[in-house]
Amino acid sequence: DARVTQTPRDKVTEMGQEVTMRCQPILGHNTVFWYRQTMMQGLELLAYFRNRAPLDDSGMPKDRFSAEMPDATLATLKIQPSEPRDSAVYFCASAIGRDLYNEQFFGPGTRLTVL
């Protein structure tokens, strides 16, 4: 049963610390998305990649956030330094091919709490 995996599932950290969230897309999926979910803003896209190349990261605060795909099986989202307003659930999703209609499969999310 192919699925997107994310680690850690939950993370509590203190303000100013670096946070790294990892995502393993479904094998063979070449498009990876990072979404953030908060009560105030809802679900919003932070960045996405196709074939490991960033297509759009306009939703991401550039000064503290960075997203990369070191290889086709791993996507990372880093926050440095973290702030309390970064507290949210971060979802990774993957999709196959160039057809936009293809389903995006979501991971279980990482719940980040910044104290």
Partner 1 sequence: AQTVTQSQPEMSVQEAETVTLSCTYDTSESNYYLFWYKQPPSRQMILVIRQEAYKQQNATENRFSVNFQKAAKSFSLKISDSQLGDTAMYFCAFMSLYNQGGKLIFGQGTELSVKP
User: What is the bridge-based pairing of β-strands 10-13 and 110-114?
Assistant: parallel
Q: What share of the chain is helix, strand, coil (3-state, %, to 5)?
A: 5, 55, 45
Tell me the two tokens of residue 19: 């946070």
> What backbone phi and psi angles, to 5 degrees, belong to 84?
-55, -35
Q: Which span (11-19, 43-51, 69-77, 80-88) binds partner 1, by CB under 8 A? A: 43-51
Q: Per CB under 8 A, does 43 bind partner 1?
A: yes
**Which candidate, 57, 59, 61, 64, places its Cα nearest to that of 79?**
64
Q: Per CB under 8 A, does 33 bind partner 1?
A: yes
Q: Per CB under 8 A, does 50 bind partner 1?
A: yes
Q: Which residue has tokens 């979802």?
A: 91
Q: Which span (15-23, 39-47, 69-77, 79-87) binds partner 1, by CB under 8 A? A: 39-47
Q: Per CB under 8 A, does 91 bind partner 1?
A: yes
**Which candidate, 54, 70, 74, places its Cα nearest to that of 62?**
54
Q: Which span (17-25, 66-74, 77-85, 98-106) binds partner 1, by CB under 8 A? A: 98-106
Q: Which residues bind partner 1 (CB under 8 A)?
A: 31, 33, 35, 42-45, 48, 50, 55-56, 89, 91, 93, 95, 100-104, 106, 108-109, 111
